Structure 1
Amino acid sequence: MTKLKGKVAVITGANSGIGLATAKLFAKEGARVVITGRREDALLQAAAEIEGEVLPVLADAGKIDDIRKVISTTVAKFGNIDILFPNAGIAPFQSVEQTSEELFDEVIGINLKGPFFLVKEALPYLNKEGVVVFNTTIAQTKGFAHTGAYVASKAGLRSLVRILTTELKEKGIRAVAVSPGPIDTPIYGKLGKSEEEVQQMETAFAAQVPLGRFGSADEVAKTVLFLASSEASFVNGAELVVDGGLSMV
């Protein structure tokens, strides 16, 4: 398994969920993986679970100084970067009426501002034929209630993919996105809801998916691997949906 042999991949928010699943898969495919997270214990535990060359960097995905540290640490260790996966994100579901300015700023800061400046800081070190893979969401096409700030941030990422497709063409760097639907990750346990409420929400979501279930982090990771590998060498500017058909009905 050597689809990414010798490649250097930076994955933010990789201490759990989609980020960790992707880091594990990338490492198995031969990549040297840099993972970030803002909880040191969880980050070190994640690094211990990855079989291969891994560099954990403690960093908050929404803080510019931390973003610069991630890139400078990566470059000092590995020289350049081949794959950038700005995966870190939060999803505190609130109605527009209930959303405070502080919450809005936090969501935009981590989900949109962070990835934007991660790309900016990484660009001087991204190799030709490198790739940036963003993590968006199918919620931007569905109009789900209580997702206003979250969807605004992710829709911004989708538009950024298009902009980068144009801006990076001379460098031969691709910009793409993976767009997950309901995925079984720890993010649902961080919504400030009771276990019963989370279970009810998950059941309701699953009932809407044509395949009748949540997706797994591993299924999303396999899609990210495809987008980041040479198998997707002519895929550029696209957003690949992984949602069991939810956005199609």
Structure 2
Amino acid sequence: MGQLDGRTAVVTGGSAGIGLAAAKRFAADGAHVYVTGRRTPELEAAVAEIGPLATPFRGDVSEIVELDRLAATITAAGERIDVLLANAGGGSFRTLEDVTEEHFDQIFRTNVRGLVFTVQKMLPLLVDGASVILTGSTAAFTGNPAFGVYGASKGAVHAIARVWANELSGRRIRVNTLAPGYIETPGLLAGAGDEQAKERARGRLSAGVPLGRLGRAEEAADAAMFLAGDQSTFMTGAELVVDGGESRRR
């Protein structure tokens, strides 16, 4: 018997990285998982990897019409949501001098606007006592150079979670933030260059982590599973940091 047997989960941005690892973990524990992603080939590959308990949904969380369509799809299936992992997000890194309007708008459109309306549109479908998990980041409080706009967007996520934890407490809906640090995902080293450059980047990033390595997406997914399941039923408004101790060295 899995911890999530008979339950329904939604994972946005679930076609790669932490989202994919979490969707696999939820399905392995028995949940029917709706997995969203923007690109069909990656989404189809992810669902094949997750297995028969996964249902793909191609859409962009920054488009409200797509969120309405997701809610309608789940409603038509006669399901309610027990676990919502609002994970879709990302962004590039620029110092203050290099920030542009496009850079700012793109990051906040997905990381903040998309997240807010994901939860709002799924709210009528959440069961009382559901678990809502927002993917934040240690960038919200580490102050790393060139992470200004990205860190600000994730700081907003952390703040929103604390407010929603209070607003939704009447329905016993728990809202917690998963705060990953340097997790080795396709996005982390995407701009590093060739394989040799990526290996140098791994070395630089790992040097700042007390545990001496980058995290694995599966380790972040295990933390998400803890927040999704019944072992964390007295947690809400909390930040669960998964970073090998990197943010605590500052």
TM tier, smaller: over 0.9
What is the alpha-carbon distance in structure 2 between the residues aligned to residue 197 and residue 145 of structure 1? 19
The reply to whether residue 194 of structure 1 matches residue 193 of structure 2 is yes
Post-superposition offset of 1:105: 0.5
The reply to whether residue 69 of structure 1 matches residue 69 of structure 2 is yes
2:181 and 2:242 in contact (8 A); partners too? yes
- Give RMSD over aligned pairs: 1.2
Post-superposition offset of 1:78: 4.1
Match of 1:34 in 2: 34
Match of 1:120 in 2: 120
1:133 and 1:177 in contact (8 A); partners too? yes
Post-superposition offset of 1:197: 4.0
What is the alpha-carbon distance in structure 2 between the residues aligned to residue 136 and residue 31 of structure 1? 23
Q: Using the TM superposition, name which of 65-74 and 27-36 deviates more.
A: 65-74
The secondary structure found in structure 2 opposite 1:240 is: strand
TM-score (structure 2 length as normaliser): 0.96
TM-score (structure 1 length as normaliser): 0.96
What is the alpha-carbon distance in structure 1 between the residues aligned to residue 189 and residue 68 of structure 2? 30
What is the alpha-carbon distance in structure 2 between the residues aligned to residue 182 and residue 224 of structure 1? 16
Match of 1:231 in 2: 231
What is the alpha-carbon distance in structure 1 between the residues aligned to residue 20 and residue 213 of structure 2? 21
2:12 and 2:37 in contact (8 A); partners too? yes
Post-superposition offset of 1:61: 2.0
Residue 21 of structure 2 aligns with an amino acid whose one-letter code is A
CA deviation profile, 1:202-244 (whole Å, cap 9, x unmatched): 2111001000000000000000000010110001110000000
Match of 1:55 in 2: 55
1:178 and 1:224 in contact (8 A); partners too? yes
What is the alpha-carbon distance in structure 2 between the residues aligned to residue 78 and residue 231 of structure 1? 27
Residue 62 of structure 1 aligns with an amino acid whose one-letter code is S
What is the alpha-carbon distance in structure 2 between the residues aligned to residue 152 and residue 107 of structure 1? 10
What is the alpha-carbon distance in structure 2 between the residues aligned to residue 156 and residue 74 of structure 1? 28
Match of 1:214 in 2: 214
Match of 1:130 in 2: 130
CA deviation profile, 1:151-176 (whole Å, cap 9, x unmatched): 11100000011110110011110000
What is the alpha-carbon distance in structure 1 between the residues aligned to residue 214 and residue 105 of structure 2? 29
Residue 27 of structure 1 aligns with an amino acid whose one-letter code is A
What is the alpha-carbon distance in structure 1 between the residues aligned to residue 233 and residue 112 of structure 2? 25
Structure 2 unaligned regions, length at least 5:
none
Match of 2:3 in 1: 3
Residue 69 of structure 1 aligns with an amino acid whose one-letter code is R
What is the alpha-carbon distance in structure 1 between the residues aligned to residue 77 and residue 149 of structure 2? 36
CA deviation profile, 1:30-53 (whole Å, cap 9, x unmatched): 000000100001000100111231
Q: How many residues align?
A: 248
1:67 and 1:114 in contact (8 A); partners too? no
Post-superposition offset of 1:77: 1.8
